[in-house]
Structures are given as structure tokens and as C-alpha cells.
Amino acid sequence: MGVFLGSAVVPIALAITWKKANKWGCIGGSIAGFILGIIAWLVTTATLNDNVINVVVSRVTYHRYGRFRC
């Protein structure tokens, strides 16, 4: 869930605290963070498993890299 929810944390925080943040920037930031998090998650999975993306990609290590990217 960190990959899915983590991408929206910073845009939501900026929307609440920063006067210049607009809705399109926050929406775009959330979507871009989500896409980059998924890419990082899948690339990490492929890298650690000899270029094979497993059907089960739910190991904690893979999620960490996706969350770090978000």
C-alpha cells in the first residue's frame, strides 16, 4: 500500500500548507509519483530476480524500493 498511498502524501501536504499549490499540480504530482513508484517496484523485482518479474511481487524488499521512489 505504500506505493499506492505514498505517492499522494506530498501533494496533499502541499495542498494544505502551501498557498501557491494548485489542484492540477497536486493531481499531476500524485499520478506521476504513482507511476514512478510502480516502475521502480517492477524494475527492482526484475533486477533482483535475473530479469524475471515474478507473479508474486509482494516481498518487502520490492515494496521498499517502490515507496522510496514515491
pLDDT tens sequence across 9-19 = 888 888 899 88
> Whole-prediction pTM value?
0.67
CA 70 to CA 40: how far, in whole Å?
A: 9
pLDDT tens sequence across 37-69 = 888 777 877 777 777 666 565 555 655 655 555
Assess contact for 62 and 2: CB atoms under 8 A: no
Straight-line distance from the first to the last Cα atom of the chain, in angstroms, rounded to the nearest whole number: 12
Neighbour-count burial for 24-48, b at 16+ CB within 10 Å, e otherwise: eebeebbeebbeebbebbeebbeee
- Domain extent listing, the chain: 2-69
